[in-house]
Amino acid sequence: MDIKNLQIALPFLAKSGLVPNIIGNHGIGKSSVVKQFALENGYSFHPFFLGQMSDAGDLLGLPEFDRDKSGKAVSTSFIHPKKLPKQPKSLLFFDELNRAHKDLLQAIFQLALEGELHDYKIPEDSIIVMAMNPATDDYSVLDFGDKAFNDRFVHIKLDPTVSEFTSFMDKKYGSNSISEFVMENTKLLEEELSSFNLDFVKPSRRSWDRLMTLENTGIPEDLLRELGFGIVGVEAMIAYSSYKASRVKIVSAKDVLNDFDRVKPLVEKYFTGDTLRSDIISTINENLITEILTSSEKAPLTKEQDKNLEKYFFTIPKELAYAFVFSMKGQPKVTNETTLHQGFFQNQKIVELIKEVKAAKDSYKAKEGTKIQKEDIPF
């Protein structure tokens, strides 16, 4: 992910409550991007460099005894460091995550997952952002191979473009010779370091839940896909994105009854051209019967709903319309105790269409030598 997309993604991550872990080589602007985001969005910025802390005490602060009126010690609390913010809308930025002492990691995990550490709670409307250098031959860092680490963060591989660096330089210094040089000699922008990937991220029930939390923020699909690599893993996210791209949205029964004109083009797509998704139409038919049964317990169908049902009936293929009515025949509560009995079932155009389809079925069965049974008649 480049810096531009990271800047777009951070507000969605903040909204979702998920904690990003920005992974990238040193000097590429991880902390600068986060600080800029904080300043532009009204957060106070509080950086912590975990590689410089020896244990959880450096984060918790010094312990002290809480005493009763007699002076007897009854509990322990902590005098939190001044760096731990107490004002609302703070951004806590923990850098060098994989350089932290192992005794400190559990404290960091609790803070990231629960937003609290013993008696300290992050202030209202505050967020946490993590960052670290990649575990490559170029860096001496802790090895994170356990799922407990992987599942707690949205891992983001930050890979800024050359133009993002030159734009930064131009904004800071104006037109300059270094920007011009780098644009012509991109390989000399920085030392070529060992590459890294997000293969250590694997899917789990917790990570799928967190992906859904992020998706519900309304984040653009391309950003969701890129961030999803660091939540459920590359393979799982590619499969999920492909599934979403190819799946067919099934029109709801409520939309058919209440707003059919709007969803009619979607319904027609199920059987136009080379497409014939009779399975989807059958599902809608079943859902309609369930919806009619449920709603009739509260109130009868309105005239508008009855009219929408009629429109739907004449939109879908004739044989599926016949199947719809035949299915309703087995639901006496639908046929006898709702407005359908007075409206839909007494509609002459519907009766004629049912007779037409029934005649075609009778003719087909007669050719096959099958006698028409009384129960084959929907009315």
Read off φ and ψ for residue 73, nearest 5 degrees.
Answer: -70, 125
| Residue whose token pair is 């809308």 | 89
Give how many domains the chain has, as a whole number.
Answer: 2
pLDDT value, residue 34: 95
Look up the domain containing 86 and give its range. 3-160+197-246
Same domain, 279 and 209: no
Same domain, 70 and 138: yes
The answer to whether position 301 is within a domain reads yes
Calculate mean pLDDT across residues 44-62.
80
Phi-psi region of 226 (alpha: psi -120 to 50; beta: other; left: phi over 0): alpha
- At which of 246, 269, 303 does a domain end? 246
Is it the case that residue 377 has pLDDT exceeding 50?
no
Count of Cβ atoms closer than 10 Å to residue 150 Cβ: 23
pLDDT tens digits, 227-245? 999 999 999 999 999 888 8
Yes or no: say if 280 and 270 are a contact pair by the CB < 8 Å rule. Answer: yes
Beta-bridge mates of residue 94 = 48, 130
pLDDT tens digits, 184-212? 999 898 877 667 888 888 999 999 999 99
- For residue 82, give every residue at least 6 positions away whose Cβ sits within 8 Å of its Cβ, in sequence order, or none: none
* pLDDT bracket for residue 142 (50, 70, 90): low
Same domain, 267 and 320: yes
Count of positions (residues) in the chain: 379
Q: For the chain, what is the HEC assignment?
A: CCHHHHHHHHHHHHHHCCCEEEECCCCCCHHHHHHHHHHHCCCEEEEEEHHHCCCCHHHHCEEEEEECCCCCEEEEEEECCCCCCCCCCEEEEEECHHHCCHHHHHHHHHHHHHCEECCEECCCCCEEEEEECCCCCCCCCCCCCCHHHHCCCEEEECCCCHHHHHHHHHHHHCCCHHHHHHHHCHHHCCCCCCCCCCCCCCCCHHHHHHHHHHHCCCCCHHHHHHHHCCCCCHHHHHHHHHHHHHCCCCCCHHHHHHCHHHHHHHHHHCCCCCCCCHHHHHHHHHHHHHHHHHHHCCCCCCHHHHHHHHHHHHHCCHHHHHHHHHHHHCCHHHHHHCCCCCCHHHCHHHHHHHHHHHHHHHHHHHHCCCCCCHHHCCC
Q: What are 321's two structure tokens?
A: 């319309």
Yes or no: say if 175 and 43 are a contact pair by the CB < 8 Å rule. Answer: no
Yes or no: say if 21 and 74 are a contact pair by the CB < 8 Å rule. Answer: no
Same domain, 41 and 119: yes
* CATH, residue 135: 3.40.50.300
105 versus 338: the higher-pLDDT residue is 105
Mean pLDDT of the chain: 82
Rounded CA separation 128/130 (Å): 7
Same domain, 86 and 235: yes
pLDDT tens digits, 288-302? 888 887 776 667 778
The answer to whether position 85 is within a domain reads yes
The answer to whether position 121 is within a domain reads yes
2 versus 248: the higher-pLDDT residue is 2
* Least confident residue range of 123-132, 173-182, 342-351: 342-351
Return the percentage of the chain with pLDDT > 90, whole number: 37
Count of Cβ atoms closer than 10 Å to residue 367 Cβ: 8
Q: How far is CA 2 from CA 5, 12, 92, 169, 187, in A?
A: 6, 16, 22, 16, 18
Rounded CA separation 206/13 (Å): 16
Rounded CA separation 97/112 (Å): 12
For the whole model, what pTM was predicted?
0.68
Same domain, 322 and 362: yes
Same domain, 94 and 117: yes
Is it the case that residue 379 has pLDDT exceeding 50?
no
